[in-house]
Structure 1
Amino acid sequence: MTSLQKDWLVRAILAVHSYRQMYVLACEIAGETKSETVREAAEQVIARLNSIIDLPVAGGGELAIALSEFLKLIAELHTEADRSVQFAEPCGTACASGTANVVPS
């Protein structure tokens, strides 16, 4: 997981209670991510919030759908982080020697 992915994931979890923060973060992610699936998820959040973000009051149904899309974005960020860990470099000499994760008996 890159530091940027980690930052986005932490900020996404913290933004769950603020639609404006969700919108700002989704815009940032859509503009900067290399992952097509993460970008698409961010664009869905943007599309849902774009027309209502500046309204003083928005309908509960629309907000619920936007929140659902944002939770999907969080899931995509998490999935992408898992993928990057899965394809990370080997852990080094401890893994190569077979001594990693050995529990003494």
Structure 2
Amino acid sequence: MSAQLASSLRLQLGRAGRSATGSPLNQTFKRAAGMTVREAERRAAVAQENQAIARQLTRPWKAGDVYAPHDLSAAEARKWRVKHRPTTDAFDALSVNPLSLYKVSLQPQGRGMLMLSLP
């Protein structure tokens, strides 16, 4: 009797499994899963586009900066992208001789020779 019961349960479970695949609830879950995949792809595309735009904006904006629409133009971005070389040297501005910052010691090496060593 238990064998007959087990076989009839399997048969009922098999039927239940087949009917669940066509149920509206299961189709809703599939549709929702598809929406999340599409949503994730859309969000990834938006994030990639935002990164590309951020790479083009070379001006470092600070909190409280006031700007006009012209400041977001390509011409302004080109101005901020150019790296300017310094016109003065740091040592000249400080009036410091960099060679005077090195410590030199002369050590006798026998037979009257001196060895120059830098620490």
TM-score band (shorter)? Answer: 0.3 to 0.5
Larger RCO of the pair (alpha carbons < 8 Å, separation 6+)? 1
More helix by share: 1
TM-score of the two chains, using structure 1 as the length reference? 0.34
TM-score of the two chains, using structure 2 as the length reference? 0.30
Larger Rg: 2
